[in-house]
Chain A
Amino acid sequence: MSASVLYDAQGPRAKRRNVVYSIVFLLALAALVWWVYRGLHDKGQLDWAKWKPLLAGSESWTTYILPGLKNTLIAAALSMVIALPLGAFFGIARLSDHVWVRVPATVVVEFFRAIPVLILMIFGNALFAQYTDVSSDDRPLYAVVTGLVLYNASVLAEIVRAGILALPKGQTEAAQAIGLRKTQVMTSILLPQAVTAMLPAIVSQLVVIVKDTALGGAILTFPELLASVGPMSSYYGANTIACFTVVAVIYVVLNFALTSFASWLERRLRRGKKSTGAVLAPAAVAGTQATGAGGGDMAGGYAGKTHT
């Protein structure tokens, strides 16, 4: 109940005031919705003819949407599976005691974090075309995955690093005191706790991966979900607004499922824990960020649920 700390328990007057605020807000919202509805209606964008192929027919789904969705899922899944361990690896490498490990890892991470994914994908595509014999069918997928992995692994590396740095120092000290080696401290003490603590941040990065597959469609002819709007809307008579709306809803559902799964996972992990003080609000991590760890789009995306 972190919110309730910010205001007093509501008396009769405050309650009345809140009702007034609610009504005003609701009216404003309703006016907005009405305005959008009228606009769309007047321009014929809500005509059933525009929506029918999408809502009442299966052809549009089997021809355009589902194959696109499949490619989106494949690219996203592959990128996640490769980027997660790679990110953990680089995150740990940046914390290494050895300069010759730490510095290259830092350079790699900072470099790939600073460049738009789009450019990484174009780069990957040209690379695969020039130096490998990957078939032209698979090349866009490879390029998209390469771009997503390079970028997101470096962001995940920062998340992991920040998570480890934010753990209480006592964890390391106690582990060392009972005679664990450096690798053991990392793998059996620090990493599990850091991953649990940073789970929300990691998941919002996974959402970014799902969304960023769409960049591959825009520039590499990778036939993913968003790219399926092109041929679909031209076939059904330029119903672009309807097509984009349906695709947007699919993205929201997909990503919402992903985040819901993650928060379920997080609850499971937290419940089993006899509080060690290792659970931390992501923002606590913010203080430790040297060059702004925590990563691209997520940015401590989820407010920590703990408020001690």
Chain B
Amino acid sequence: MKLRKVTAVSAVVLALAVSATACGSDDKKDEGSSGGGKKIAIGIKYDQPGLGQKTPQGYSGFDVDVAKYVAKKLGYNEDQIEWKESKSADRETMLQRGDVEFIAATYSITPEREKKVDFAGPYLLAHQDVLVRADDTSIKSPADLNSKKLCSVTGSTSAQNIKDTLAPKANLLKYPTYSACLTGLQNKAIDALTTDDSILAGYAAQDQFKGKFKLGGLKMTNENYGIGVKKGSDLKAKINKALEEMVSDGSWQKAVDANFGPANYKNDPAPKIGDIKS
């Protein structure tokens, strides 16, 4: 008796669970096959307004615009793009495993990374900077940061730069996301959020923050954003060509204005392909 009841109930639970998962996998198949024809998988950030942000309307940001342009030149329409989230720590592995064709996700070209993957570009020259409250004028040079409370993302190069060279005495808070840091900045629990100025500009340009935050303009490092491809891939040359066209036909400037404009972000001019500033 007992066993039968137990089995009956667990059978129901099991059936429910299986059907739930079955539904799930069905959905996925539909999504995969609906576009038809060839697809291209591109890695972007999902949580960086101005660069790569998942929104109710789709994906937006400068990286996304660049990726779309490049994909178009490679022969893919927008509906043939399969966006994938590529967090900073996953980028090299995603390329090495072939999960994505290329990655445009605030991907700075560094010698260490170049050992593992190839880079097209650079397509944007960014600098490590600070984001401060609009009424804060106390930070004029990197040395001023030594007496400040800073926040950056766990494991990021920006956090390491601060600790290693820029302001070793700064009181540095590490959070998993920049949004968490911003909460502290709004609450005046920290003085500045530090990372690439392009990322900071993306936040400052958001409707909710207009006039509340500003960039420090310190230009502490050079970050050459490139498009990552698998080592030895023939995509590199094609993407470089596409990037050159993007600059020459004005789409590049248009994308910069659309995404960073509201933040009053003084971006550097479009970098030359292969010109990596250290």
> Is B47 interfacial (CB 8 A cutoff)?
yes
A81 pairs with B14, CB closer than 8 A: yes
Please, how many angstroms separate the alpha-carbon atoms of A236 and B49 in the complex? 10
B90 pairs with A221, CB closer than 8 A: yes
Other-chain residue from B14, B53, B183, B207 in contact with A240 (beta carbon distance below 8 A): B183
Please, how many angstroms separate the alpha-carbon atoms of A265 and B9 in the complex? 8
Interface size class of B (residues with CB under 8 A): 35 or more
Q: How does the 8 Å CB contact mask read for A36-47 relative to B, with 1 for contact and 0 for none?
A: 000000011100
Q: How does the 8 Å CB contact mask read for B201-227 relative to A, with 1 for contact and 0 for none?
A: 001001111000000000000000000
A231 pairs with B53, CB closer than 8 A: yes
Please, how many angstroms separate the alpha-carbon atoms of A129 and B90 in the complex? 13
Please, how many angstroms separate the alpha-carbon atoms of A287 and B5 in the complex? 29
B2 pairs with A193, CB closer than 8 A: yes
Q: How does the 8 Å CB contact mask read for A211-241 relative to B, with 1 for contact and 0 for none?
A: 0000000100101000000110111111011
Residue of A nearest to B99 (CB): A136
> Is B187 interfacial (CB 8 A cutoff)?
yes
> Is B87 interfacial (CB 8 A cutoff)?
yes
B17 pairs with A238, CB closer than 8 A: no
A231 pairs with B6, CB closer than 8 A: no
Interface size class of A (residues with CB under 8 A): 35 or more
Q: A73-B20, A77-B17 are in contact. Are A235 and B2 (CB under 8 A)?
A: no
B53 pairs with A234, CB closer than 8 A: yes
> Is A104 interfacial (CB 8 A cutoff)?
no
A235 pairs with B49, CB closer than 8 A: yes
A residues apposed to B, CB below 8 Å? 43-45, 49, 59-60, 62-64, 70-71, 73-74, 77-78, 80-81, 84, 129, 136-138, 187-188, 191-193, 195-196, 218, 221, 223, 230-231, 233-238, 240-241, 265, 268-269, 272-273
Given contacts A77-B16, A80-B17, 20 further A-B contacts (CB under 8 A): A43-B186, A63-B54, A63-B55, A64-B54, A81-B14, A84-B10, A136-B84, A193-B2, A218-B176, A221-B90, A230-B46, A230-B176, A233-B180, A234-B47, A237-B206, A237-B208, A238-B180, A240-B183, A272-B2, A273-B2
| CB-based closest 4 A-B pairs | A237-B208, A136-B99, A238-B182, A77-B17
